[in-house]
């Protein structure tokens, strides 16, 4: 038996989504540590706005991958 334990489609999708989220989080942590933290030490409010823009982009990518539209009430969110 070549494939004794095939994964169900939903399990594969869940595994793929988890892997993408882990990758996105690693990218964000790297960005935050390399770009935001040094600026935060110099220019606190500007650095927080940059982090908010990056979080907004990350949320948009997650919504796009899930095939959803962003929730209402994001009009005041920072623009990328």
Per-position pLDDT tens, the chain of length 80? 455 566 688 888 889 999 999 999 999 999 999 988 887 788 778 778 888 999 999 999 999 988 877 666 554 555 54
Q: How many CA atoms lie within 13 A of 22 on its CB side?
A: 6
pLDDT of residue 22: 94
pLDDT of residue 79: 54
- Whole-structure pTM value: 0.46
At 46, is the secondary structure helix, strand, or coil? helix
């Amino acid at each position: 038996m070549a494939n004794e334990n095939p994964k169900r489609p939903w399990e594969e999708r869940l595994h793929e989504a988890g892997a993408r989220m882990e990758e996105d989080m690693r990218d964000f942590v790297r960005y935050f540590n390399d770009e935001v933290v040094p600026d935060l030490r110099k220019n606190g409010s500007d650095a927080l706005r940059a982090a908010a823009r990056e979080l907004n982009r990350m949320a948009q990518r997650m919504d796009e991958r899930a095939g959803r539209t962003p929730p209402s009430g994001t009009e005041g969110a920072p623009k990328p």
